[in-house]
């Protein structure tokens, strides 16, 4: 009897410990789900070739070339903005979404029909976590900054300015115009008065960071400190 009891004791203890651990994880998971920050999409409608959106002060109908900041499939570009507050109210973190590239008409036509080439097919609400989080203990440096996720839909790291037409289909390579349109929109929403701006992105978004760091600094002028963080954005052509 004695040996059996000795064996039974640790087993019971283990079950008890597991139960406590499981309750602990469940509580933590519930806490994280509850505090998860979700941010809705802002469509840059004035930039769309469809001309949708409100009339602008400088009527775009006289400048049709201004209306072609569009994704691969012709849908309007978009971003997600969560406003800063307190000491971070005049600081902005801009983050390019990553997601590789397309390389030719076939692969870009394919991409145009996915969430990587069309804002129509994207999730309209994004979870802001990590460097986009609004929780001080998770994101101590930027939690109270204005934080923006720039959606990636041009297939070429927010660069390029041309079109492909073959009679039956059109592909838009307007990454440069998407970048210009989003920044123009954000300038009106407070970016023009920023004290600090950090431009960042990973992979294809890291390359976009290299492409646009200098021009952003020029556009914002001397009163704004602009820094750029390219995460895995340099690609060797081997």
Ligand X SMILES: *[C@@H]1O[C@H](CO)[C@@H](O)[C@H](O)[C@H]1NC(C)=O
The candidate with the shortest Cα–Cα distance to 109, out of 148, 190, 163, is: 163
Complex with ligand X: residue 169 or 225, whichever CB lies closer: 169
Residue 49 burial (CB < 10 Å; 0-12/13-18/19+)?
middle
Please, are residues 220 and 197 in contact by the beta-carbon 8 Å criterion?
yes
Query: What is the smallest separation between the CB atom of 102 and ligand X, expressed in angstroms?
Result: 11
Q: Which of 106, 137, 236, 238 binds ligand X (CB under 6 A)?
A: 106
Complex with ligand X: residue 35 or 163, whichever CB lies closer: 163
Complex with ligand X: residue 51 or 113, whichever CB lies closer: 113
Binding positions for ligand X, 156-195, rule CB under 6 A = 166-169
Query: What is the smallest separation between the CB atom of 173 and ligand X, expressed in angstroms?
Result: 14
104 binds ligand X (CB under 6 A): no
Query: What is the smallest separation between the CB atom of 164 and ligand X, expressed in angstroms?
Result: 8
- Alpha-carbon distance 117 to 74, whole Å? 9
Residue 212: both structure tokens together:
């646009």
Q: Which of 39, 43, 109, 208 binds ligand X (CB under 6 A)?
A: 109
φ/ψ region of 232 (left if φ > 0, alpha if ψ in -120 to 50, else beta) reads left
Query: What is the smallest separation between the CB atom of 169 and ligand X, expressed in angstroms?
Result: 4
Query: What is the smallest separation between the CB atom of 163 and ligand X, expressed in angstroms?
Result: 12
| C-alpha distance across the termini of the chain, in Å | 72
Please, are residues 96 and 205 in contact by the beta-carbon 8 Å criterion?
yes
Using CB under 6 A, count the residues that bind ligand X: 7
105 binds ligand X (CB under 6 A): yes
Query: What is the smallest separation between the CB atom of 162 and ligand X, expressed in angstroms?
Result: 15
Complex with ligand X: residue 59 or 167, whichever CB lies closer: 167
The candidate with the shortest Cα–Cα distance to 163, out of 47, 51, 69, is: 69
φ/ψ region of 20 (left if φ > 0, alpha if ψ in -120 to 50, else beta) reads alpha
Complex with ligand X: residue 104 or 237, whichever CB lies closer: 104
Complex with ligand X: residue 108 or 220, whichever CB lies closer: 108
Please, are residues 38 and 128 in contact by the beta-carbon 8 Å criterion?
yes
- Alpha-carbon distance 196 to 223, whole Å? 9
The residues of the shown chain that bind ligand X, judged by CB under 6 A, are: 105-106, 109, 166-169
């Amino acid at each position: 009897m004695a040996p059996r009891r000795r064996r039974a004791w640790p087993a019971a203890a283990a079950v008890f410990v597991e139960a406590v651990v499981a309750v602990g994880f469940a509580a933590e998971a519930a806490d994280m789900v509850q505090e998860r920050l979700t941010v809705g999409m802002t469509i840059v409608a004035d930039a769309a070739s469809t001309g949708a959106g409100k009339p602008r002060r400088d009527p775009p109908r006289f400048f049709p070339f201004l209306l072609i900041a569009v994704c691969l499939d012709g849908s309007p570009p978009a971003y997600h903005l969560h406003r800063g507050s307190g000491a971070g109210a005049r600081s902005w973190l801009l983050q390019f979404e990553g997601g590789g590239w397309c390389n030719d008409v076939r692969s870009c036509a394919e991409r145009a029909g996915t969430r990587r080439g069309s804002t129509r097919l994207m999730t309209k609400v994004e979870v802001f976590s990590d460097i986009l989080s609004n929780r001080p203990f998770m994101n101590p440096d930027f939690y109270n900054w204005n934080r923006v996720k720039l959606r990636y839909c041009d297939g070429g790291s927010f660069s390029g300015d041309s079109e492909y037409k073959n009679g039956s289909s059109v592909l838009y390579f307007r990454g440069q115009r998407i970048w210009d349109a989003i920044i123009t929109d954000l300038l009106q929403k407070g970016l023009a008065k920023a004290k600090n701006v950090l431009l960042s992105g990973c992979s294809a978004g890291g390359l976009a960071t290299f492409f646009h760091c200098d021009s952003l600094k020029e556009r914002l002028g001397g009163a704004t400190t602009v820094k750029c963080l390219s995460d895995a954005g340099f690609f060797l052509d081997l």
